Structure 1
Amino acid sequence: MIISRTPLRMSFVGGGSDISSFYRRYGGAVLSTAIDKYVYVSINRKFDGGIRLAYSKTEEVNSLDQVEHRLVKATFEMLDLKGGVEITTTADIPSRGTGLGSSSSFTVGLIQAASAYQGRYMSAQEMSERSCEVEIERCGEPIGKQDQYAAAYGGFNLIEFNTDDTVKVSPVIMPAETKQRMQDGVITFYTGVTRSASHILKEQTAVSGSSAAKQDALRRMVELAYVARDEMANGNVTSFGEILHENWMLKRSLTADISNTAIDGWYDAAINAGALGGKLLGAGAGGFMMFYADPERHQAIARAVGLRQVDFKFEPMGSRILFYNPN
């Protein structure tokens, strides 16, 4: 049996610039961190040569062409893994629609575990590239590239998406005190709403490729990713909330489906209670909301928002093998 553990991620600034219709023209950049919530994937040899999958549902089939789970099927095809295996997956957070990159974390973790099962090592760079191949190229998901790299590499990074389709992951170098103050200042809530990001991302892809105003908004969000990186390097934590706020206002302008009356209400309540800035995590319309504020204001913010608070910490490690027994 082999077990992989892959972190989820929290994206702060620049989300949306990792979509190919935008970054291939202008380049993109995202500031994000892995968090201490994980997707676990186990793979074990199956005696009868078939395939058994256990996720939100159970599949037991005789051959790969009978598998319904698109990401598993595409990963097996890519790795030329025919069958004779049992895959089980569990997650610390609901597996879809929460804005924490869970689908990509699952795909990275599956590739990590399956390649180890085949007796080969795969670097964070290769896991990221292979995960993008599975999700975007083979399965046709209308998503960007940030989640795969955040899950594979871990840590607090500036992830840059170049016009030639290359991706560069650079750890954000900052004083230890600054990182701790950032972590202490983040407060996160679960909206209770899960949603598919596909239709939002499809619309965002369309407008980012055609609308000058939307392109300008995304280009400013990319600038803000670099500004935030530099401010953190200089130990200027207070400006982080202001950057988050500007980034959220820009993101809301991209499509009407990113926010709604309820989300706007929660956001305004948090700002009025002392938050310096915040955002909805992921593509929009549901999932988790995060805010940045002085920790002394957190209790007041929680009362004002009235949602379930969930504590996250930054995770320095990316996808890794927790248990390895290939026999």
Structure 2
Amino acid sequence: MMEERIKLELNESIMVKKNLLESKVSLIARFAQMLVDAYRNNGRLIAFGNGGSAADAQHIVAELVNYLYDTKRPMLDAIALTVNTSVLTAIGNDIGYDNLFSKQLESLSKPEDVVLGISTSGNSENVIRGLKQAMKNGSKTVALVGKGGGKIKDLGCDLVININSEDTARIQEAHITIGHIVCSLVEKELFQEKNVNLSYNEGSNVSTKVPVRISFANGGDTDEYIRAVGKGCVVNATLDSHYYKCSLFEEKTDNIIVNIKNLQDKESSSYEITNLTLDGGKLDIFKSTISKVKPDFKGVILIETNVPMTSGMGGSSSLIVSMIESFFKLEGKPYTAEEVAKIAYEIERNDMGVKGGYQDQWSAAYRNGINFMEFSFNGVKVNNLPLSNEVYDNLEQNLVLFFLEPRKFSGSSIHNDQAKMVVNSPEEVKKLLEEKIKNTIELKDSLLSNDLERFGRLLHKDFELKKKLSSKITTDYVEEVYHTALSNGALGGRISGAGAGGVAFFYCSDGSKESVINALKQKGATMLPFKFERPKKRKLKLVLMAGGKGVRLQPLTYDVPKPMLPIKGKPMLEYQIEWAKKHNITDIIICTGYLSKAIEDHFGDGSRFGVNINYSVEKEKLGTAGPLKLASELIGNSDFIVLHGDIMCNVDLDKLYTFHKRNNALATIVVHPSSHPEDSDLIEVNEKNEVVKFWNKPHASEVPTNLGNSGLHIFSSEVLKYIPLTKFSLEKELLPFLVNNGLGVYAYNTDEFLKDMGTFDRIKWVEEQLSTKSWDEL
């Protein structure tokens, strides 16, 4: 009988550990990584529990302080709160046993520490209070529990590992097994195997950090306002200082656990999602996103943020975008910012029914600093403003960000109020919106010209106009704070979101910043850290083909190279360089030949235009591909764009380059429908957008395509090995060779603005267009 009992207990122990293997691996890896991160940031482990759990806490601490395997490593700082009998009896006698650990943690735990509470039932009151105190101190918290997790399961710890057993002995055996594994991983990561992968992909582990935004000026981004005026625009900025981070831990389980940690509000919460049916509750944002993007997900969703609740900084959209991108990463699915923004908008505005505009989702998805967004019936256009570091530095030096108070009204309530005004007072709203659009464009221009005093005044004007669109936008307290800022030297400011509280920011005149800060603190406002995201430079290079004679434009090109001919007073090449800079491409190569000195004299090294320019000069004619070989050392190993110097171009490079990378293309040709296919070279593609054949003019019979080459291409540097250093044609020789050998040539079909300036009539047409439209409107 005794032997049978032994077998039974061993089998039970095996089954519990087997469950650890099947469903807890990623959680154990997270625990180990949290501890590694703590030690790398001068933190330590603090552990506690009762009875056998106290022994486990001391055991784990001993393995860290002394060693588990590596006898020569230095000690790791760790402490168990169950060993100092004088402290324990004093607290137990004077304050009470329930405060045994929380009282010690008041002074012992720091934000860089990991605090481990162990309770087989999950209901030990002194463990619960200890974990709560650790959260209050900002420490990372881990709980080892059993029997369903008890009260600790819903406490909001950073990590809860629940042992699926009702047997205390089996639970404790699993706890110490986890402790040994974690100590082993930490020891190896810190002192032995520097490349050990703690994510341990049994359960996938991915994360995405997405910034929130502030809006400087808003000329309308809701459907109601766009219908009222026909368009809208916004200048906004994403912040490096404030974010939502989503981490996913996929497990073999039937549950979805959502853990939320707000570092700003110092609050943590934990929820279990048992079904994806929307019920109007606070979990709908998670249910909607999971249903839309990955309905089969099971495991843990960890959300970390430092954004105050009801801040008006577009936080819900940043949260949704962080989840969408994390789910896509989990699936290994490529995505574009535009795709993510559209999904996020559909989730928030359609599925959840939250009223609002477009800017939040597009800001979160596109990110990248200060953007000018345009809204129309055709969609959203995101223009990253090509601002210098000096502008960003000056803005950060003079802007202050404060949390005023929780919003008095929901964003949906304010948007409903504004929608009613559109219906009841359409002419008044239209006039206000037209004025706001004008002000928004002027504010954009003030940033581009580094006229920041004007920027501050335009902030003020936008806020005054904004208040006329709804009585709910401001409150007595907001007005008091706002006018206090102005009276202490602020030139202007704005409530960031829909209004009625949340976050406000102010632009301070020189020397007034400290006065503004002190005055607003006295009014009870909370100052927040402030730092912009800044545009990231692309590794992608631009090669401009500027060596031709421009015979069709003679006599204008007798003394001026064709790409230097002016369009509305500015050389064609300058438009191309501005296009590149707008898309954060600053490494430019100009392939010259005919009258090359005129080009070099105008552009120099590019510093005057905020870019870096190198020149590759043909000594003899090399066609349209040979110059690329000549410039191969300058191009190096990066992907590169090739654009003919006489092409006026306003293509969305983000979408184009995503297409190129998604198809793993050697070459991508930008194509568009030809208005005169009968006398054009044409390109035939298959259903995958892969180029299958070139049809050269003249055409003896009807051709199954009308797509022409626009003169814009993207290449992998690998293509250079197929180009000889002789006269060689890109269109007639290189591209057909790549297609005939199945080397991955794709066609990107777009109706965006691409115009060959090879004739007088085309130059005249573009100049006429620019007389009534901005370059971005072409």
Judging changes above 3 Å, is the alpha-carbon distance between structure 1 residues 315 and 129 closer, same or farther for their aligned structure 2 residues? same
Are the equivalent residues in 1 in contact too, given 2:294–2:327 (CA < 8 A)? no
Deviation at 1:279, TM superposition (A): 1.0
Q: 1:261 & 1:153 partners in 2: Cα distance? A: 35
Residue identity opposite 1:22 in structure 2:
Y
Aligned residue number for residue 162 of structure 1: 376
Aligned residue number for residue 312 of structure 1: 530
Judging changes above 3 Å, is the alpha-carbon distance between structure 1 residues 108 and 66 closer, same or farther for their aligned structure 2 residues? closer
1:23 is the counterpart of 2:236: no
1:224 is the counterpart of 2:439: yes
Deviation at 1:52, TM superposition (A): 1.7
Name whichever of 73-82 and 106-115 sits farther off.
73-82
Name whichever of 305-314 and 136-145 sits farther off.
305-314
Give the secondary-structure state (helix, strand or coil) at the position aligned to 1:93: coil
Are the equivalent residues in 2 in contact too, given 1:75–1:111 (CA < 8 A)? yes
Judging changes above 3 Å, is the alpha-carbon distance between structure 1 residues 71 and 61 closer, same or farther for their aligned structure 2 residues? closer
Q: Which has the larger Rg?
A: 2
1:182 is the counterpart of 2:395: yes
Aligned residue number for residue 204 of structure 1: 418
1:277 is the counterpart of 2:485: no
Aligned residue number for residue 451 of structure 2: 236
Residue identity opposite 2:492 in structure 1:
G
Unaligned stretches of 5+ residues in structure 1: 319-327
Q: 2:492 & 2:390 partners in 1: Cα distance? A: 20
Q: 1:208 & 1:85 partners in 2: Cα distance? A: 45
Give the secondary-structure state (helix, strand or coil) at the position aligned to 2:258: strand
Deviation at 1:269, TM superposition (A): 1.0
Deviation string, structure 1 residues 170-225 (Cα, Å, up to 9, x no partner): 01123332222122111111113245222111111221344222232222112211
1:78 is the counterpart of 2:282: no
Are the equivalent residues in 2 in contact too, given 1:193–1:286 (CA < 8 A)? yes
Q: 2:273 & 2:215 partners in 1: Cα distance? A: 37
Name whichever of 141-150 and 80-89 sits farther off.
80-89
Deviation at 1:62, TM superposition (A): 4.0
Deviation at 1:294, TM superposition (A): 2.5
Aligned residue number for residue 152 of structure 1: 365
Are the equivalent residues in 2 in contact too, given 1:21–1:209 (CA < 8 A)? no
Give the secondary-structure state (helix, strand or coil) at the position aligned to 2:511: helix
1:47 is the counterpart of 2:256: no
Deviation at 1:6, TM superposition (A): 0.4
Q: 1:140 & 1:290 partners in 2: Cα distance? A: 29
Deviation at 1:49, TM superposition (A): 3.0
Aligned residue number for residue 287 of structure 1: 502
Aligned residue number for residue 34 of structure 1: 238
Deviation at 1:128, TM superposition (A): 0.8
Are the equivalent residues in 2 in contact too, given 1:185–1:295 (CA < 8 A)? yes
Give the secondary-structure state (helix, strand or coil) at the position aligned to 1:296: coil
Task: Find the partner of 1:120 among 330, 333, 339.
Answer: 333
Aligned residue number for residue 325 of structure 1: none
Aligned residue number for residue 385 of structure 2: 172
Aligned residue number for residue 216 of structure 2: 12
TM-score by length of 1: 0.91
Q: 1:171 & 1:193 partners in 2: Cα distance? A: 31
Judging changes above 3 Å, is the alpha-carbon distance between structure 1 residues 53 and 175 closer, same or farther for their aligned structure 2 residues? closer
Are the equivalent residues in 2 in contact too, given 1:23–1:162 (CA < 8 A)? yes
Residue identity opposite 2:224 in structure 1:
S
Judging changes above 3 Å, is the alpha-carbon distance between structure 1 residues 151 and 61 closer, same or farther for their aligned structure 2 residues? closer
Judging changes above 3 Å, is the alpha-carbon distance between structure 1 residues 126 and 298 closer, same or farther for their aligned structure 2 residues? same
Give the secondary-structure state (helix, strand or coil) at the position aligned to 2:405: coil
Aligned residue number for residue 276 of structure 2: 64
RMSD over equivalenced CA pairs, Å: 1.9
Are the equivalent residues in 1 in contact too, given 2:228–2:430 (CA < 8 A)? no
Residue identity opposite 2:222 in structure 1:
I
1:303 is the counterpart of 2:533: no
TM-score by length of 2: 0.39
Residue identity opposite 2:336 in structure 1:
S
Q: 1:81 & 1:119 partners in 2: Cα distance? A: 16
Alignment size in residue pairs:
315
Aligned residue number for residue 207 of structure 2: 3
Deviation at 1:295, TM superposition (A): 4.7
Name whichever of 271-280 and 20-29 sits farther off.
20-29
Give the secondary-structure state (helix, strand or coil) at the position aligned to 2:512: helix
Are the equivalent residues in 1 in contact too, given 2:278–2:288 (CA < 8 A)? no
Give the secondary-structure state (helix, strand or coil) at the position aligned to 2:400: strand
Judging changes above 3 Å, is the alpha-carbon distance between structure 1 residues 62 and 242 closer, same or farther for their aligned structure 2 residues? closer
Greater RCO (Cα-Cα under 8 Å, separation 6 or more) = 1
Give the secondary-structure state (helix, strand or coil) at the position aligned to 2:402: strand
Are the equivalent residues in 2 in contact too, given 1:64–1:83 (CA < 8 A)? no
Q: 1:103 & 1:176 partners in 2: Cα distance? A: 29
Give the secondary-structure state (helix, strand or coil) at the position aligned to 1:31: strand
Are the equivalent residues in 2 in contact too, given 1:50–1:63 (CA < 8 A)? no
Give the secondary-structure state (helix, strand or coil) at the position aligned to 1:64: coil
Give the secondary-structure state (helix, strand or coil) at the position aligned to 2:515: helix
Deviation string, structure 1 residues 13-64 (Cα, Å, up to 9, x no partner): 016x111111134211000000021101111112213222223643324443
Deviation at 1:265, TM superposition (A): 1.0
Deviation string, structure 1 residues 118-158 (Cα, Å, up to 9, x no partner): 22022111111110011011111111110111111111100
1:250 is the counterpart of 2:465: yes
1:141 is the counterpart of 2:354: yes
Q: 1:23 & 1:61 partners in 2: Cα distance? A: 37
Aligned residue number for residue 324 of structure 1: none
Judging changes above 3 Å, is the alpha-carbon distance between structure 1 residues 66 and 314 closer, same or farther for their aligned structure 2 residues? closer
Are the equivalent residues in 2 in contact too, given 1:50–1:60 (CA < 8 A)? yes
1:100 is the counterpart of 2:313: yes
Task: Work out the percentage of aligned pairs sharing the same amino acid.
Answer: 27
Q: 1:61 & 1:23 partners in 2: Cα distance? A: 37
Q: 1:168 & 1:111 partners in 2: Cα distance? A: 21
